[in-house]
Structure 1
């Protein structure tokens, strides 16, 4: 009896809830919930969209991806539900207008992956349909709205249409297809025919004399560097205005010039991504551009900063709705002012401030607060989006180029102070400044502890599971950045997959790789990475007790930090980003999974880090063994030799640090431009920065470093 009464109670409650949802109040509540969800999605898209490259955590990236996928369907469904409502509430049309405006200001991100970068036409069409739907909604309420609210809402709708029109115009002017065909062709022809002949042999990379790399001014005609509209790197450096002073004392002026330099480098890199050859790659002038120009002085941060800004332009080009330097911001400023004034008038209008719903209107009590919240949210997001536009590097480059073209601006202190202020601020970072870390032996030990190897899983899936659970990210240490800078400055022309470091330290004979098993090919770059990753871990294990007595900040600990960080980063590239390495990604994955399987078998029963070396000692070399056994045994052997036969601990870790810098630089040149651009979507990798830097030094093909003794 009680059970029957309980079922009846549940049935009645379900019927009551269903009836309430179908009632006018229930439908209004559904619309309010959907408006709230849509606003949250658009807020995430605006606030986190462009900043996702500066955040390595997965949660913000997942939030941005979800917002990009769901925002337009959510807004479309919400406006459709508003149109089909059988009740009247004048605030609904206010929500519709501001949802439309919010949809228009969420333009900080155009794509989440490279495959999405050509979907702007679909997005614009979707927004155009929402403009039509909101107009129909306005017409249905035109007789019930107060006159002042009617005027404001129609004005807001018109401003939404104007914003959409400006977006279409911007998309046409800055269309990627047009840039990749027309502008890239102009830059390619100019660099192959005119740049090095116009600059001649009289060049100086320290002062950028003779470097006529185009910053701005190219149009649909062959480029002439003497044309007053063409701004080159040389002209920027020769500018006599205070804003771009050539004095090395003014660090701020140097940074402003470097923004223009980064933009010119972005155009050269984009030309390569468009499939055009780098005809200047083999010129000494190109090598000196990096070695004498970017690597000059002792400020290693400048090299990274210039490349970061360059890759920031590349990110915007593919993944954001960037503004071409050819466009003026005057229409945007006027539209922003009109939208803000109209929105404030709506927020403080009698219909919103003194809201008293008519007796025949359906209301919930929450609707007026939702209206105020939506308007305030739009004002915040629209202001943020406008500031992002004003303080963007694209706008800075445009204004600095105008400063170069207009000598009259040099004598206007007010204008110069405004430009200084604009160039000083940036609202988002360029990248997360972190590197992935993965150590093969430690990962296999982790699988022993967690019992992953006992699970009845395919060996390839087991390897993937181990990698995902043992891969982490850490901030890029300054010691690592400094070591890469010093090596590039002193050994840019001597990168040979570790051979230069072996020769320099006089250990080429004792640390040369031993004979490989029969019928195996020559050692590949990925094999070298895995061998030396194991060797570095073995050396670290054997040195652990001695390192504990060293004071913090000692040279030994600094060099050890560089060696272990880069060793784990190169192994991370093998495990998580093989497409950025010279070998085919499929072969790289197969090699890693085979070595993992061999290492797990060798470490079976090992439950502590201290026992790794003793387990590896039991693994013996076999002339008929597989390449996976060879890598494991050779890595252990080299680790023992480095620990036992190097003269001192300082030299030991100094050698390993230099070796890993050389190995990373050796694998940085790549023909897979698409892989690097795809990685930019999630913040980018350190190897992408080095890839771009070496490209500007003329190192553009991986086979150059394999077949020849020197890369430059």
Structure 2
């Protein structure tokens, strides 16, 4: 029976939906604006489809509050020009009806355009980051809010002071307008409260005084077992804004109270949850055993504490030497310095130690990577995850919808002059999508598509409306899920769990376990790097493969960083005798020379299961080459010099490959053979020639001696390179890392964050580190 209703010849379609379809297609019968209307509908369909697909598929496998900045910029520009264009088309559609004198109500075409403008305005928050920095920007910081408020005011004028005379139609569009207006007010109030709060916008200046005070009170207190360093750690995770404080000439002085974890409630509501209180709680748990069973939760809280310290550095509050020394001990002695198990059998002792070191390295880099992700989301999140807490969940996702629902009900009643029964009846009868049903109406319209172009473009109009509505619904659901499953909400719950040692703690523990069960089914961010090779066919950064940083590389970098502060500051490797010529030039030239050599050796000896040193060397080599090619600003030294070195290498490679055809189309084997011939030629002073010459030397040594020793040398070289590249050598370098956060962060940014915390700096002059091959 339902299918018969969708028959183009059925009485249902012809009688019930005929007037709606006629009004929707009537604008196409006028030849003078047919092309404009058709073109607009097509462009809107493309934009709506793109918006829907980007929302659906870009986040399908990863719960993230972050949107690619390039995509966000494209959508923002598209939506910015949308309102003026749609306003013009709205006035044209309204004028066409006025010229005919047939109707005293807005035409269906005009109402469709008005509906698009409202739905797009509801989606606009997707392209705006929720940046919460206290005392910054002045009036310029409100430009986006003022612009959006002006758009919403204009839409309100079109709805309430135009030709929408039907109470039901005015109530329908007025409800959507109220939803857009209340969401703008909600966003504005949330950001304003956050900017003035010591927990968010003003936290850096508060934390600077807090860290200075606790470091003075503790003194040099980095002795003892590793676990004790973490249990004594007073780095604030949450709650420092609640401490009693007095303003002083140097900042603030606090009455510091730490949360107790031996049972019962916290000693005071104004107690700070510290890294130490969470680590002590893990030992004190007797019932839930939440932190004991999942140590990642403790480390997540440490990541959050470090994020707050690093954010303070980015907002012009420098890290003192005492703090860097304290953090160095906490990370490398505490987090990475736990005692290894003892074994009587020396043969198995190294294996056990190696496994333990892998676990430490994975824990270290996951902590710092989570910290960098906190930074990325803080400065570039399009969802309010920064404010994630049980209280914000209650107000934003439970109480606010009630307020919006009440405002919508009042709007419907007011549009009918207070007649409640007539208000809801007219809302249904005056709007075909509600009275008939959008699916039935779409079915009838689709059944007419093959008859004429106007029917086709009318179907496009309906499709645009449906896609925009589905995108908005999907965005609301996705924001809620991102909030619940975010690391921010998890840290807030863990702090609540730490400070409440009664029945409420058991309830919070149950909630945490439920969230973890869902998070474990979804992909989580890993420490990954892009892979670029001069022997590959891919030269676009967006299409480069991404791999997880090998555990072996993490272990070697961790070992090098442990000794990097005092004993041996990071520097580029230097060699004696035979390979001294590879050290000429800056870091970009060094990377390119050794990358070409590593790629040649890898191509000469392909294996199905590479060893540990080979995995580490090839992954780091390709990542460093990627940095030179696409992010030279993240490397130490002059960016222009790095760009010129890469440009010259590309030009030389293009010549050796026989022009553009060979440069873009030669396979890996052909490129390898060409580069081997370069090693025998006269190009000995250029990057390409040096790399080919070094590659030939490594290949000969691998054949003559032991290939394992060559890959061990390369692993050490590339470890030294990335450790050398990590620390910032200027504020320009720091700014480059901050800008990289907009892209989601890089592995080199993780190393920079670790070096910044621990006070690791680059050596001004390289010192000999390796023997010649």
Whether 1:305 and 2:366 are equivalent positions in the alignment is: yes
Q: Name the CA shift for 1:703/1:437 in 2 (closer, same or farther; >3 Å).
A: same
Alignment of 1:212-223 (within 5 A): 212-219=234-241, 222=252
- Separation in structure 1 between the aligned mates of residue 463 and residue 587 of structure 2, nearest angstrom: 62
| Conservation of the 8 A alpha-carbon contact between 1:437 and 1:474 | yes
Unaligned 5+ residue runs, structure 2? 1-25, 98-105, 259-269, 339-355, 413-423, 439-453
Aligned to 1:386: 480
Aligned to 2:314: 273
The separation in 2 between residues aligned to 1:687 and 1:353, in whole angstroms, is 54
Distance in 1 separating the partners of 2:116 and 2:286: 41
Tell me the CA shift for residue 579 of structure 1.
0.8
Contact kept? 2:593, 2:691, Cα under 8 Å = yes
Distance in 2 separating the partners of 1:120 and 1:48: 32
Which of 642, 651, 660 is the aligned partner of 2:709? 651
Q: Cα 1:485–1:414, aligned 2, differ >3 Å: closer, same or farther?
A: same
List aligned pairs for 1:327-476, cutoff 5 A: 328-333=392-397, 334-336=399-401, 349-350=428-429, 351=431, 352-355=433-436, 366=459, 374-408=468-502, 411-425=504-518, 434-440=528-534, 442=535, 468=539, 473-476=544-547
**Which residues of 2 match residues 517-536 of structure 1 at below 5 A?**
523-536=585-598
Question: Paired residue for 2:553?
Answer: 483
Give the distance between the partners of 2:39 and 2:579, measured in 1 at CA: 71
Which of these residues, 358, 381, 384, is aligned with residue 320 of structure 1? 381
CA 1:318–1:76 in structure 2 vs 1: closer, same or farther (change >3 Å)? farther
Separation (CA, whole Å) in 2 of partners of 1:302 and 1:30: 55
Deviations 1:572-606 (A, max 9, x none): 22222111111110112223334555566677799
1:258, 1:306 within 8 Å by CA — same for their partners in 2?
yes
Partner of residue 145, structure 2: 124
Instruction: Measure, in 1, the Cα distance between the counterparts of 2:233 and 2:707.
Output: 45
Tell me, yes or no, if structure 1 residue 589 matches structure 2 residue 643: yes
- Report the Cα distance in structure 1 between the residues aligned to 2:367 and 2:425, rounded to whole angstroms: 45
Shift of 1:244: 11
The answer on 1:110 being equivalent to 2:131 is no
Match of 1:513 in 2: 580
Measured after TM superposition, the shift of residue 641 of structure 1 is 6.5
Q: Which residue of 2 aligns with 1:73?
A: 81
User: How far, CA to CA, are the matches of 1:611 and 1:74 in structure 2?
Assistant: 54
Q: 1:211 aligns with which of 227, 230, 233?
A: 233
Shift of 1:648: 1.6
Cα distance in 2 for partners of 1:266, 1:589 equals 32
Aligned-pair distance for 1:53? 10
Instruction: Using the TM superposition, give the Cα deviation of residue 324 of structure 1 relative to its aligned residue in structure 2, in angstroms.
Output: 3.1
Structure 2 residue matching 1:276: 3-state secondary structure: coil
CA, structure 1 residues 236+199, in 2 after alignment: closer, same or farther (shift >3 Å)? farther
1:645-690 CA-partner distances (Å, limit 9, x unpaired): 6x42222212222321222112111241221222232333221222
User: Does residue 280 of structure 2 align to residue 238 of structure 1?
Assistant: yes
Secondary structure of the residue aligned to 1:586 is helix
Partner of 1:493: 563
Once residues 493 and 571 of structure 1 are traced to their aligned partners in structure 2, the CA distance between those partners, rounded to angstroms, is 26
The offset of 1:318, in angstroms, is 2.0
**Deviation sequence 1:631-653 (CA, Å, 0-9, x none):** 457635753574366x4222221
**Deviation digits for residues 676-705 of structure 1, max 9, x if unmatched?**
222232333221222222223322x33468
Q: Which residue of 2 aligns with 1:10?
A: none
CA contact (8 A) 1:603 1:615 kept: no
TM-score of the pair, normalised by structure 2 = 0.68
SS at match of 1:215: strand
Tell whether the 8 Å contact from 1:483 to 1:562 is kept in structure 2 after alignment.
yes
TM-score by length of 1: 0.73
RMSD of the TM alignment (CA)? 4.9
Structure 1 residues 101, 122: closer, same or farther in 2, change over 3 A?
farther
Q: 1:347 to 1:176 in 2, by over 3 A?
A: farther
Q: Shift of residue 233 of structure 1?
A: 1.4
Q: Distance in 2 between matches of 1:65 and 1:151?
A: 34
Q: Measure, in 1, the Cα distance between the counterparts of 2:292 and 2:368.
A: 22
1:250 to 272, 293, 299: 293
- Structure 1 residues 372 and 272, CA gap change in structure 2 (3 angstroms): closer
Partners of 1:239 and 1:439 lie apart in 2 by 48
CA distance in 2, matches of 1:490, 1:44: 44
What SS does the corresponding residue of 2:545 show, helix, strand or coil? strand
Where does residue 11 of structure 1 map in the other structure? none
Could you tell me how far apart the structure 1 residues matched to 2:715 and 2:691 are?
Answer: 21
**Aligned equivalent of 1:553, options 603, 609, 612:** 609
Distance in 1 of aligned mates of 2:522 and 2:152: 31
Structure 2 Cα separation of the partners of residues 42 and 415 of structure 1: 37
Give yes or no for contact 2:727–2:752 (8 Å, CA) kept in 1: yes
Worse overlay, 130-139 or 192-201: 192-201
In the alignment, is the contact (CA less than 8 A) between 2:232 and 2:276 conserved in 1? yes
- Aligned with 1:237: secondary structure? helix
- Is the CA contact 1:563–1:653 (under 8 Å) kept in the aligned structure 2? yes
C-alpha distance in structure 1 between counterparts of 2:582 and 2:87, whole Å: 71
- The alpha carbon displacement at 1:168 in A equals 1.0
Count of matched residue pairs: 633
Mean Cα deviation higher: 399-408 or 579-588 = 399-408
Conserved? CA contact 1:42–1:103, under 8 Å = no
1:248-288 C-alpha deviation (Å, 9 max, x unpaired): 7512xx23333322221111111222233221467543223
Query: Structure 1 residues 287, 691: CA separation in 2 closer, same or farther (over 3 Å shift)?
Result: same
1:164 Cα deviation (Å)?
A: 0.8
Show structure 1 runs of 5+ residues with no match: 1-15, 447-466, 503-507, 517-521
Taking the aligned partners of 1:50 and 1:256, their CA distance within structure 2 comes to 24
Q: What's 2:257 paired with? A: 226
- Superimposed CA distance per residue, residues 167-211 of structure 1 (whole angstroms, 9 cap, x where no aligned partner): 112222344999998432332333334236337515655451222
